[in-house]
A and B are shown apart, each in its own frame.
Chain A
């Protein structure tokens, strides 16, 4: 079986440095203020906080999906493996394959399961069927979906249940062989069983890919976090190892939030 792991086994790739990033939407609202944060390579990095804390805005900045919002602007810089992602020589398509996003609402593209999984690679110019087939199987296994769909790869992705759809979307991102996967509340619409399947898959995946995740709940955050960062009103309040943040936060606001005395 081949996976992306050998691609970047030489060095520990997949580290993201957020340096003094502020971000404004076109109407002038500031979603992020001067955020400094390191997202550790090959770890589950949880970004959590109440609504409107800036979590999703941050995630969408990391692979430049915010470019699609006309009139939005940012200051500061984001480095992927030490290289700025906003530089003029950066190919945005390439960046989005290396830093891939899974959204809260799973959106299969119309077409077969197979077509969904190979879409990103085909758009990148991959034509080799053997390679594409390999990636289909590998990514489905990583996302714990292979056994359920291996006999119907050519049927519509819309025939899948909600939980299966979300794992399909995870597999679709993995198929690209990314260094980083961004998950914006990926289990929000899922039943407990599907949630467990996704969480287990992430635990396995973190050895190969950096995971940046906005969790569904503080409990989920505490369950999964190797590293955690607490956001409030666009500001990074506190970041550190998961255990520290959830068991012994230094900031009063973090403590209030994780112990449920807040919001």
Chain B
């Protein structure tokens, strides 16, 4: 029975490690939630920062993050869905398709700071968009592409093959089949991918560091050509760059950012599951 004892010991160790992994996660979430709630208030979310950001709220950063996220969606969605349709419906196995897939894998692996450098080089300087919401959204949009492409492609492939065959056999063209049979049924899955991509974009700092983000602005951005404050960068600034910054607003900012990102994640899974219940076939 020594083998049984060894197994018991091993299982004990394994579960110990698993708990060592998960307990800190709970601690982090608990820390941000409890300390963040202390500094959280309606005024905190809706007021401009004052007194060198030590006082007041985070409104411009909040608004900036919303702008950037919408911009990211506008940039990433058409391109990513187009690419997903191509890969799922048109691409035939071969060197070109492999090259596209390799490119997507690598896009997903490029460090976010490198996207920031690229955005600076191409959008801010070469295309002379300046440090602006447009330049930031373009950079974040490209960074978001691989996630959205992969999820959208999966959603498109999940549409039963019989629907395509039936549609084509009734004289619908290839594009009509995609437009009327494939995309409507893949839409919830595609949306899930888009929202997941956006949740990541909303929390990113490095790509907007040199393309869109401002340390402090006295007013809200008035057009997409303006630079903007953004929550992740704001958190970095008040945590490390502002002397004598009290901790409460730092935690409240972290909590706000985390809630935005997590609510997007939850929204994505709600879309997915509510659709699964509703579909007919």
A touches B in complex, CB < 8 A? yes
Residues B169 and A65 in contact, CB atoms below 8 Å apart: yes
List CB contacts (< 8 Å) of B144-190 with chain A.
162-163, 165-173, 176, 180-181, 185
**Shortest Cβ gap from B106 to chain A (Å):** 27
Instruction: Note all chain A residues with C-beta closer than 8 A to B277.
Output: none
For chain B, the count of residues having a C-beta within 8 Å of the partner chain is 19
Instruction: Note all chain A residues with C-beta closer than 8 A to B126.
Output: none
Instruction: Note all chain A residues with C-beta closer than 8 A to B181.
Output: 109
Given contact pairs A109-B163, A123-B173, A123-B176, A96 touches B168 in the complex (Cβ within 8 A)? yes
**Which of A93, A105, A158, A173 counts the most B-chain CB atoms under 10 A from its CB?**
A93
Residues B92 and A96 in contact, CB atoms below 8 Å apart: no
Residues A120 and B162 in contact, CB atoms below 8 Å apart: no
Query: For the complex, is A107 an interface residue (Cβ under 8 Å from B)?
Result: yes
Given contact pairs A110-B163, A110-B185, A96 touches B281 in the complex (Cβ within 8 A)? no
**Shortest Cβ gap from B237 to chain A (Å):** 50
Residues B172 and A107 in contact, CB atoms below 8 Å apart: no
Residues A107 and B163 in contact, CB atoms below 8 Å apart: yes
Instruction: Note all chain B residues with C-beta closer than 8 A to A65.
Output: 165, 168-169
Residues B281 and A158 in contact, CB atoms below 8 Å apart: yes
> What 1/0 mask marks residues of chain B from 176 to 210 whose CB sits below 8 Å from any chain A CB?
10001100010000000000000000000000000
Instruction: Note all chain B residues with C-beta closer than 8 A to A63.
Output: 169
Query: For the complex, is B51 an interface residue (Cβ under 8 Å from A)?
Result: no
Residues B171 and A70 in contact, CB atoms below 8 Å apart: no
Residues A119 and B163 in contact, CB atoms below 8 Å apart: no
Query: For the complex, is A100 an interface residue (Cβ under 8 Å from B)?
Result: yes
Given contact pairs A123-B176, A158-B280, A176 touches B170 in the complex (Cβ within 8 A)? yes
Across the interface, name the chain A residue whose C-beta is closest to B181. A109
Q: Give A33 to B108 CA distance when docked, in angstroms.
A: 49
For chain A, the count of residues having a C-beta within 8 Å of the partner chain is 24
Instruction: Note all chain B residues with C-beta closer than 8 A to A120.
Output: 170-172
Query: For the complex, is A124 an interface residue (Cβ under 8 Å from B)?
Result: yes
Q: Give A37 to B92 CA distance when docked, in angstroms.
A: 34
List CB contacts (< 8 Å) of B267-281 with chain A.
279-281
Across the interface, name the chain B residue whose C-beta is closest to A156. B280
Residues A173 and B280 in contact, CB atoms below 8 Å apart: no
List CB contacts (< 8 Å) of A90-107 with chain B.
93-94, 96-97, 100-101, 103, 105, 107
List CB contacts (< 8 Å) of B40-94 with chain A.
92
Query: For the complex, is A68 an interface residue (Cβ under 8 Å from B)?
Result: yes
Instruction: Note all chain A residues with C-beta closer than 8 A to B92.
Output: 70
Q: Give A173 to B166 CA distance when docked, in angstroms.
A: 10
Across the interface, name the chain B residue whose C-beta is closest to A122. B180
Q: Give A100 to B173 CA distance when docked, in angstroms.
A: 14
Instruction: Note all chain B residues with C-beta closer than 8 A to A173.
Output: 170
Q: Give A195 to B281 CA distance when docked, in angstroms.
A: 23
**Shortest Cβ gap from A159 to chain B (Å):** 9
Q: Give A158 to B160 CA distance when docked, in angstroms.
A: 15
Across the interface, name the chain A residue whose C-beta is closest to B171. A97
**What would 13 A/B residue contacts be, using CB atoms closer than 8 Å?**
A63-B169, A65-B169, A70-B92, A93-B172, A94-B171, A97-B170, A103-B166, A107-B163, A109-B166, A120-B172, A158-B281, A172-B170, A176-B171
A-B pairs, top 10 by smallest CB distance, nearest first, are A120-B170, A97-B171, A123-B172, A158-B280, A107-B162, A96-B171, A101-B169, A93-B171, A107-B166, A123-B176
Question: In the complex, given contacts A109-B167, A176-B171, what are 7 additional A-B residue pairs having Cβ atoms less than 8 angstroms apart?
Answer: A97-B170, A100-B169, A103-B162, A107-B163, A123-B167, A123-B171, A172-B170
